[in-house]
Structure 1
Amino acid sequence: MKFCKKYQEYILGKENQLPAVDFKKLKKILKKCREDFELHQEHDGQSCPHHCSVCDGTFFPSLLKEMSAVVGCFNERAQKLLELHLASGFRKYFMWFKGKLQKKHVAFIQEGKDLVTYALINAVAVRKILKKYDKIHYSKQGQAFKSKAQSVHIEILHSPWLCELMAFHINLTEAKIKSNKVPALFEGCSLNFDDDKPSLSCELFYSIKIDIDLTCSICLDTVFDPVSLTCGHIFCLMCACSAASVTIVDGLKAAEPKEKCPLCRKTGVYEGSLHLEELNILLSRSCHEYWEQRLKTERIERIRQVKEHWESQCREFVGV
């Protein structure tokens, strides 16, 4: 079965109408473009240029809008699912009372699996339609568009929520699930420590493979209390605060917009940073001794920063 038909069946088969890449419409735009240029080529003998008003005026704006809607929907649903899983204390009982925690662990995994399938099949749709664009236009504009999509945070395979779902799957499987009847969220999803370099990897359908490096590029150790910046790079919370010139008390949200990511040097990446709680749980279980050691070291540093913060506040209050 061709991908276009399979994709259409998938989208139409969803009970809830979810945002999607309009693969069929985009193919029609490209088909019209090719027919127009073939007609012109018969008259003037010119080959198809790298740019054309037909595609650039409708194709890319449509795709950009659809990708934005897809990644927004995915992030929102993943966030809600993981909030339910991580709920504790009074909030957990409140959610239970409202009936939101009646799901069994099997249902949690199935919902996560549905989310991942939704993300991946749309990622494949984008990959295939951009490949077709480049084939028709004899260009690399489709590949360049991928970089643009990543820079504006609508490349779904770079969403930090996908990383969180991977960690969520391993956490739930290892800690809660003992039955073989439970559906797998990912096939071959694992936390690896090859050559003492930690990574989260997963092999997915249509030859998509995700490898997430879990080494903090600042302290050069396994990320501790990890956070993902909006550019997609992951650091220890303490290291990220240091790079953003803020204290742990102020938090990353207080960083100036001009502050840059230590790796890609992009600005404005701290305000929308995400604390990777599922990944934090996974690493604390998998690297217990290392985690305890880092916890003691960072607790001392946190106490020092909190003390300096309150001393500064007191001096300002008394006018010293």
Structure 2
Amino acid sequence: MKFCKKYEEYMQGQKEKKNLPGVGFKKLKKILKGCRRRDHQIASINHCPRECTVCDGTFFPELQKEMEDVVGWFNENAQKLLELHLASRFKKCLDWFKGNNNRKRSHLGLIQQGKDLVSYALINSVAIRKILKKYDKIHESSQGQAFKTQVQKMHIEILQSPWLCELTAFHINLKESQKDYSGAVLASPPALFDGCSLVFDDGKPLLSCELSDSVKVDIDLTCSICLDTVFDPISLTCGHIYCYMCACSAASVNVVDGLKTADPSEKCPLCREICVYKGAVRLDELSILLKRSCREHWEERRKTERAERLKQAKEYWDHQCRSFTGI
């Protein structure tokens, strides 16, 4: 089955369950097909000019809007799913008493939602890659690849989403957990997807996720500031992951104030992009995974971080008291 047909069938099936955005694969192909036919009639060649005002004025803006909608929907729903999974026992019990499904079903329901989100991210990523490849083939150009680089800088590439990183950690955490909410042992915990693991290469942590034969995501979990395994990890809007306190230090803010108070002109230490701190995402599932996988190292870092946080908190409140009293 051709990918276009496979994609259309997948999206149609999903839209019957819920109204979710997707890539207008068939519509974008028609734009390219019409462009090729028009140019063939004019110049008797079988490809569009390298600079095509019709394609560039319609194709790229349309695709960019669709990508923004896709990654926005994915991020929002992945966040809701993981917040539900990490909710306190009290909140879970409250949801249960409100009439939600029994706890085991709720647990399995979270797993199924995670699988659906990963499948959605994968198939849309492949659709975008294929349509851009087709654009470059017709135009005999590399503008499609240049556009892909551009949208990566705009943070609308779905495989760069920090929530995909969180879903990967969520998957591994579920595999390692042998109990459902009621305390009964699960013989074989269902998995979100295969080919997912946390590995250590010469002591350096790497979160690896093989989504398909052709799509693999590797995430380096070494903080580029302290050069250690990330502790209390946070992802900046540019996609780079740091320890929370290291990120605060880089943004020149106190841990009490937090990253939301960072000056917009502060840059990411790696890519030097500005305005990356305010929308940073706390990677709680990843934090749980690293705590389980390197317990001794984690405990050592926790003690060090706690002492530093207390020191910064004391300095902060001392400064606030002096400002208030004028002493």
Match of 2:221 in 1: 214
Mean CA deviation greater in 307-316 or 205-214: 205-214
- Kindly provide the amino acid, as one letter, of the partner of residue 75 in structure 1: N
Query: C-alpha displacement at 1:95, in angstroms?
Result: 3.2
Q: Counterpart amino acid of 2:202?
A: D
Matches within 5 A, 1:1-320: 1-14=1-14, 15-42=17-44, 48-99=48-99, 102=102, 103-176=105-178, 179=186, 182-320=189-327
Q: CA distance change for structure 1 residues 90 and 243 in 2, over 3 Å: closer, same or farther?
A: same
**Structure 1: distance between partners of 2:213 and 2:32:** 23
Contact map agreement 2:206 2:218 (CA 8 A) in 1: yes
- Percent identity of the aligned residues? 67
Q: Output the amino acid matched with 2:148.
A: K
The Cα of 1:181 is off from its aligned counterpart by 5.7
Cα-to-partner distance string for 1:15-47 (whole Å, 9 max, x where unaligned):
2121000100000000011111111213xx797
Contact 2:136/2:142 (<8 A) preserved: yes
Aligned length: 318
**Superimposed CA distance per residue, residues 219-260 of structure 1 (whole angstroms, 9 cap, x where no aligned partner):** 000000000000000000010000000011111111000000
Does structure 1 retain, via aligned residues, the 8 Å contact 2:264–2:274?
A: yes
Runs of 4+ in 1 over 4 A off after TM superposition: 99-102, 177-182
TM-score by length of 2: 0.93
TM-score, length basis structure 1: 0.95
For 1:274 and 1:98, the matched residues in 2 are separated by 30
Q: Distance in 2 between matches of 1:291 and 1:190?
A: 19
Checking the alignment, whether the CA contact within 8 Å between 2:262 and 2:278 is kept in structure 1 is yes
Q: Contact conserved, 1:71 with 1:156, CA < 8 A, in 2?
A: yes
Contact 1:84–1:100 (8 Å) recurs in 2: no
Q: Could you list the runs of 5+ residues in structure 1 that have no partner in the other structure?
A: none
5+ residue gaps in structure 2?
Answer: 180-184
Q: Distance in 2 between matches of 1:198 and 1:9?
A: 38
RMSD: 1.7
Q: Which moved more, 1:91-100 or 1:263-272?
A: 91-100
Does the CA contact (< 8 Å) of 2:178 and 2:189 recur in 1?
Answer: no
C-alpha deviation, 1:97, in angstroms: 3.5
